[in-house]
Amino acid sequence: MGEGLISDIIAYLVWILMSIVKFLLTPSAMIVAGNNWLEVIVTCSLGATIGILLFYNAGKTISSWWKRVKASSLNIKPPKKKRFVTKRKRQFIKFKRQYGLVGLMLISVFISVPITAFLGAKYFSHNRNTPVYLIAAFFVWGCVLTFLSWSVKSGWV
């Protein structure tokens, strides 16, 4: 293996990791770094797919574990705490009820892949196609962001 091939593989792994952590910035950064639009879409989609599958399954596991912990702690009966509902919680519940999974897909690009996958696992795990829908949403967002970034770099916008 040549030294150039190893450095290319490492570079793509870094881009994949970056697309998992902060998807919104990755297509623009890759376009600025000189990658073509197809490389950007494939790399970002691969990173989002890996992140969704990893964190969705982890989120389901954590949610089910937390339910068991809460159920077992209810047998002990500690003094009841008054539920404290914040404005942000009320807004999130209203958003979830009003827009559902489609709303999560629309805002997914503005939050990270792990948070999107965890929210999908926590609130929409009853739909077995949730990971597929989230992956599709990130693919579409990757295409949109790549086109916008490429247009800016090409001087169209």
> Within 10 Å of residue 29's Cβ, how many Cβ atoms?
15
pLDDT digits over 43-61, tens only? 999 999 999 999 999 988 8
Kindly give the interhelix angle for 113-124 and 130-154, rounded to the nearest 10 degrees. 150
CA distance 40 to 38: 5
pLDDT at residue 1 tops 60:
no
Mean pLDDT value of segment 4-23: 94
Per-residue b or e along 112-132, where b marks 16 or more CB atoms closer than 10 Å to that residue's CB = bbbebbbbbbebbeeeeebbe
pLDDT digits (tens, 9 = 90+) for 68-121: 887 776 666 656 677 778 888 888 888 889 999 999 999 999 999 999 999 999
Q: Whose CA is closest to 123, among 45, 63, 43?
A: 63
Locate the domains of the chain by residue range. 3-74+85-154
- CB 44, CB 142: distance < 8 Å: yes
Exposure of 49 by Cβ count < 10 A (0-12 exposed, 13-18 middle, 19+ buried)? Answer: buried
